[in-house]
Amino acid sequence: MANSTDFITRVRPAQFERLLAEVRACRICEAHLPNPPRPVLRASPTARVLIVGQAPGRRVHESGVPWNDPSGDLLREWLRIEREDFYDERRIAIVPAGLCYPGTGDSGDLPPRPECAPQWHPKLRAHLPAIRLTLLIGSYAQAYYLGSRRKKTLAETVRARDEYLPQFFPLPHPSPRNRLWMKKNPWFEREVLPQLRRRFKAVRMI
């Protein structure tokens, strides 16, 4: 006879699938997007790590695969993880602050649509009970999850990471456009990346 645990493990994936279908059918900010909505995310209720980035760029929008670009290559290098393991959604959930490509402005990709995170993150997060570490990549993810706990600059927020751990690990965006930031902040590579790798490895393998 099924016990309550069997019930939970059987029922949760179906509920989760329904939620994912709901997300994928979302049209809330369609009028502001340059293309028909195409939410790009990967998640499973067993995931231990949640990666919250900004929003898909054009290349990710076209492929439907998150972090499928030079920023993703650098993020995998930071985490010392192979592509195949990075995309194992049983361990790693990837849910950006804005799920659809917001378009491009004069100085690069536009910010994530502000409607998106409040609409979907609480619902998705409620279905990800095994998350032990959330990587907050870039200022939009940090603004949403840290709120007033965020420092004045991204560098200060990353430096203050121990205030947010073990739940959140704030990081800069690994975009090639941020190379100058990395150069100006050598402590990031020296101090933060080793800590990130240790923490990520420990949590992912639980």
Residues at the site binding ligand SF4, with contacts judged by CB under 6 A: 26-30, 37, 39, 98-100, 113, 115-116, 119
Q: Tell me how far, at minimum, the Cβ of 50 lies from ligand SF4, in Å.
A: 17
For β-strands 104-105 and 133-137, DSSP reports them as unpaired
Backbone angles phi, psi at 81, to 5 degrees: -135, 140
CB of 115 to ligand SF4, least distance (A): 5
Nearer to ligand SF4, 29 or 74 (CB): 29
C-alpha to C-alpha distance for 61 and 171, rounded to whole angstroms: 23
Q: Which is nearer to ligand SF4, 28 or 203 (CB)?
A: 28
| Cα–Cα distances in angstroms (integers) from residue 28 to residues 64, 119, 175, in the given order | 19, 9, 28
Q: Least distance from C-beta 72 to ligand SF4, angstroms?
A: 19
Nearer to ligand SF4, 57 or 98 (CB): 98
Task: Report the nearest approach of ligand SF4 to the CB of residue 59 (Å).
Answer: 17
Running DSSP on this structure, what letter comes out for residue 54? S
Strands 49-52 and 92-94: parallel
Pick from 132, 133, 138, 131: nearest CA to 117: 138
Compute the distance between CA of residue 181 and CA of residue 205 in angstroms, rounded to an integer: 31
Q: CB-wise, 46 or 119, nearer to ligand SF4?
A: 119
Whichever of 29 and 192 has its CB closer to ligand SF4, that residue is: 29
Shortest approach of ligand SF4 to residue 116 CB, angstroms? 3
